A and B are shown apart, each in its own frame.
Chain A
Amino acid sequence: MQASIQRKASADPTADVVFETRELSRHYGSGDTLVKALDQVSLTIAPREFTAIVGPSGSGKSTLLQLMGGLEAPTAGEVYLRGQAISAMSGRDLSDFRRDHIGFIFQAYNLIPVLTAAENCEYIMLLQGVPKAERQARVDSMLNRVGLSGKADRRPAQLSGGQQQRVAVARAMVSQPDIILADEPTANLDSQTGSDLLDMMHELNRREGMTFVFSTHDPMIMERASRLIQLRDGRIESDEVRA
């Protein structure tokens, strides 16, 4: 199984690999209390993939997403994004790298409550040093694409859960990252809202070629995923690429 998963792994960055993990492990505790949250996981993610990482609770899917996003350091192994080793970075380099290359969507939306929908999207571009006029244009365009053009001036508390998650998608995409990592993005939404949100993300994936990686339990995501990676006990149990 591991061999088949590594079919696209390579040492050099190539145009058809966005993400790569090699022998990635994350262990907690030691001795008798050692927990292998992730154990020697190797995989590659190609551009335009709409990948779902699934598995029971404790299988390691959130840990994998956190390691891929550089939010946590691995115990062993490497994470590469466009050929750059994330696991070797720290401090400001890692912050800058996350800002420029990775978009995050969280289960609880995690928008900045004192900023409007537009400002939440604008914030990350401000960090990138994007000029004001361009920021404005990209925010307008992005909110339009996620169906929130009339709600740009609303703060998160004035939006529904689904709308907040759309803002989160817009925030993740507006910085033009290489990949979007979404951790249980529909878990706090009712099924209809979740389905609409997924349709929107799927559409963005198909139309704009944005690469998505989900960590999820949600069957709706699994149905739409172009690739399904099943984790169990910190190891990849199956990796299914769909037509």
Chain B
Amino acid sequence: MLLLRLAWRNVLRNRRRTILTLLSMVGGYVIVTLVLSVNYGSYDQMLEQYTRDSIGHVQVTADQYLDRPRLQRTVPVDESLRGQLSQAQGVRMLTPRLESGALAYGEERSLPVEVRGVEPDQEDRLSRLSNRLSAGRYLSAERDGHGQHEALIGARVARQLDLEPGADLVLIAQGADGSLANELYTVVGILGDTEAVESRWVVLPLAAAQDFYVLPDQAHRWIILGDDFQRAERLAAAVRSSLAGDANWADNALQVSPWQVVAREFYETMQADQQGGMIASYILIFLVCIGVLNTILMSVMERTGEFGVLKAIGTPPHRLFGMIVLETLVLATLACGLGFLLAWPINLWLTLVGIPMSEPIEVSGLYFSHFRGRMSWDMFAIPTALVWFTALLVALYPATRAARLTPLDAMRRL
């Protein structure tokens, strides 16, 4: 306690210098917190949209389907499995999807397309697909007046094949049984624009897609949405538990994967990008460090004589070393405390309100209208650890210098 008191009083010794150093450390802390928060907040927005609109939080697929997707690697679509999945803790919504490729024909041209068989109502609730309509109306599960199933097509498909809502679309592919599949559909709506992710999609009702690919009561993915994409691992574990009694699960025929596994490359790229975004913060902390180093070094040099006395009366080198480090950590702790008090309300505002952009920006087909922060413990823990670690680092040289002083030489500077 006396050592802590000594450190605290030494920190307060030259108040003006301490305040200036504290200001730079607090400034560094706040800026790093906010940079981190906006950085993570942006990714949160992106991932929230991406998982919600595209891949869900967790997927149930046939074993090896994610690594090597094949038409025949399917999961059952039945009430038993749906019930089991729905009962897993944290599951908010789920829907099956059948996915494969086909050749689409218009009046004069053909185009390879990505076919998705969905349950229209469930899919819309889960991925808000109808929000992406740029023309026509949303899909229904029923056949139209001509006995044809309805289809939504991507904007590129519409342009290449010169199709509009109301037009006929022909799909040709190979069925799961090896037969040649071909069918006529009525286009009811067009999705997004030609640059959108769904520009080459053809979306069919699930039953139509199952008929087309000869996959009765089958699909390729169960898409599951929980409350938070950040808790996907926990959700996946709950889904695995709920499947414990399922025969397919027992045969290792099913695989439960959180979105980080489903979109592994995307996840890894995003993490690398996040680290890249932190470089500016590291540079900032480095600059703050130089200021702190200067303060500590000045403080040590000014007190060289005093250290000589301390050593003369029996303070061992490691105690003196510890004393300087303790003083620096006291300063760092004070900076972190003040920084937290300042950064917390700003970060809260950033998270809840955010900074509106003059125009929404589009990144990989996802649109953002606000810069938003993330309010979580790590937004404060990372800067705290950074400030502490760097303070410790910059204290090493002055502390070593003080510890190595010979008492007599040091006392000559009194």
Contacts and interface: CB of A to CB of B under 8 A. Distances in A.
A160 interface: no
A150 interface: no
B271 interface: no
Contacts of B411: 106, 110
A112 B312 contact: no
Nearest to A172: B313
Measured as residues with beta carbon below 8 angstroms from the partner, the interface class of chain A is 20 to 34
B314 A96 contact: yes
Given A66-B408, A127-B319, A112 B314 contact: no
A35 B309 CA distance: 26
A122 to B, nearest CB: 6
B414 interface: yes
B137 to A, nearest CB: 79
A115 B309 contact: no
B314 A122 contact: no
B6 A95 contact: no
Contacts of B319: 127
A100 B314 contact: yes
Interface in B382-414: 407-408, 411, 414
Contacts of B3: 126
A146 B349 CA distance: 61
Contact of A99 (B10, B309, B313, B318): B313
A98 B312 contact: yes
Given A91-B317, A108-B414, A115-B9, A69 B310 contact: no
A69 B408 CA distance: 11
B315 interface: yes
> At the interface, is chain B mostly helix, strand, loop or mixed?
helix
B337 interface: no
Contact of A96 (B5, B10, B316, B408): B316
A7 interface: no
Given A115-B9, A119-B2, A126-B2, A95 B408 contact: no
A92 B10 CA distance: 24
B374 interface: no
A171 interface: yes
Interface string A82-108: 000000000110011111100010101
Interface of B: 2-3, 5-6, 9-10, 12-13, 305-306, 309-319, 407-408, 411, 414
13 contacts: A71-B408, A91-B317, A95-B314, A95-B316, A110-B306, A114-B6, A115-B6, A115-B9, A119-B2, A123-B6, A124-B313, A126-B2, A127-B319
